[in-house]
Structure 1
Amino acid sequence: MLPQVGKEFLVRIRSSCRPLFEGRYLLPTNILTGGVTLGLADILEQTRETHKEPDAVREWSRTGRMFVLGCAISPLIHYWYTWLDRFYVGKTLTIVGKKIMADQLIGTPVTGMCYFLGMSLIEGHTVSEGWEEYTNKFGEYYKMDWCVWPLAQMINFFFLSPKFRVLYINFVSLGWDTYFSYIKHRVSQFKV
């Protein structure tokens, strides 16, 4: 059991954070958490890389680019889930299945395309170079996506309030974005 002071502290934190997930603050909250998640995932991936190869140098500019891209992609994700919840109303197995299929067949390819094209542009490469990288890595990341996201989205669509969808996705994405950072930066033909 928590002492009374601890309970009061948790209640204050909860009430002070509540506005971040309502109304006009929801989109900025989703944008910031998306950027932080992608940046943190890159820090985790670079930590793994430097542990594997002690001569490797941590690139903070790479982490910064990942943060910027996370902030840039987050509105797309925010509005995608808003649209899914308006178009497919309810929590029946059929509705949740339709949301998951739409997310896998439309959301995943579009988000991946935005990721690879966005990173290519931020790194100073052309759109065609980003497109080539996307098409080369699409099959690998799309197969992995099917292993992770359908179950995660089932939990998301069945149990969570729509205002917490992107926050939950960002939480699950910490592992997924670490994989994205790995697939993007491993022995890449695009060096910064």
Structure 2
Amino acid sequence: MFERVKFAWRTYQMLMIKHPWKLQILTSGGLVGLSDIVSQQLVERRGLTNHNLKRTAKMATVGLIYVGPVLGVWYRLLDRLVVGQSKTAAFKKMLFDQLAVAPCFLAGFIAVTGFLGGLSREKIWLKFQKIWPAAQLLNFYFIPLEHRLAVVQLVALMWNTYLSWMANKT
């Protein structure tokens, strides 16, 4: 089992070197889709027979066309704006992220999922929430740029589960 995990990680690392942008986008789409599966199965307790595959596909699409590209570009830009790996640099990145981008990103996420789900502007507006700065502080301090998108999506699995639930709540 451990050898398979090591092989999968080595393969992921190799693909990250060869196709970093594509892999980050695919990883993001897959993890946002996984978040919807967790939301439907563990939070909403729908069961496999009542699982909404269309909704999961919609959420994975949001990860592919919105979450991955937007955050991938943002993290690259942020690394140019705030150079370094120190605690101070990580703190500055977290502040930029939480004060400048997180509210806009979250608004976009809720708007895109709401739009794809057929919600009115009024219903979309009611779904806005805050994002977690502590996870981003750790992400910017400990994680290399090429892995930040994947790590933030892994850390955000529960957050995205919550967002999936909120975005699709009637």
With the length of structure 2 as denominator, give the TM-score of the two structures.
0.86
Give matches, 1:87-106, under 5 Å: 87-106=81-100
Please tell me whether residue 16 in structure 1 is matched to residue 6 in structure 2. no
Question: Could you tell me which residue of structure 1 aligns to residue 141 of structure 2?
Answer: 158
Cα offset, 1:185, TM superposition: 2.1
Q: Deviations over 1:135-164 (max 9, x none)?
A: 3222xx21xx2xxx3221122111111111
Gaps of 5+ in 1: none
Task: State the one-letter code of the partner of 1:100.
Answer: M
Deviation at 1:49, TM superposition (A): 5.0
Say if 2:30 and 2:63, in contact at 8 Å, map to a contact too.
yes
- Equivalent residue pairs, number: 168
Q: Structure 2: which 5+ runs fail to align?
A: none
Cα distance in 1, alignment partners of residues 124 and 84 from structure 2:
34
- RMSD between aligned residues: 2.5
Letter in 2 for 1:110: C
Partner in structure 1 of residue 60 of structure 2: 67
Which residue is equivalent to 2:164?
A: 181
Give the aligned residue type for 2:15: L
Instruction: Name the structure 1 match of 2:126.
Output: 136
Give the structure with higher Rg (CA).
1
2:51 corresponding residue in structure 1: 58
Partner of 1:45: 39
TM-score, reference length from structure 1: 0.77
Over 3 Å counting, the alpha-carbon distance change for 1:13 and 1:44 in structure 2 is closer
Supply the distance in 2 between the matched residues of 1:110 and 1:166 (Cα, whole angstroms): 17
- The structural deviation recorded for 1:94 is 2.6
Displacement, 1:133? Answer: 3.3
1:107 is matched with which residue?
A: 101
Give the letter for the 1:103 counterpart.
Answer: D
SS at match of 2:138: helix
Cα deviation for residue 47 of structure 1 reads 1.0
Residues 114 and 167, structure 2, Cα contact 8 Å, conserved in 1? no
- The alpha-carbon distance between structure 1 residues 106 and 134, as it changes in their structure 2 partners (threshold 3 A), is farther
- Is contact 1:50-1:58 (8 Å) kept? no
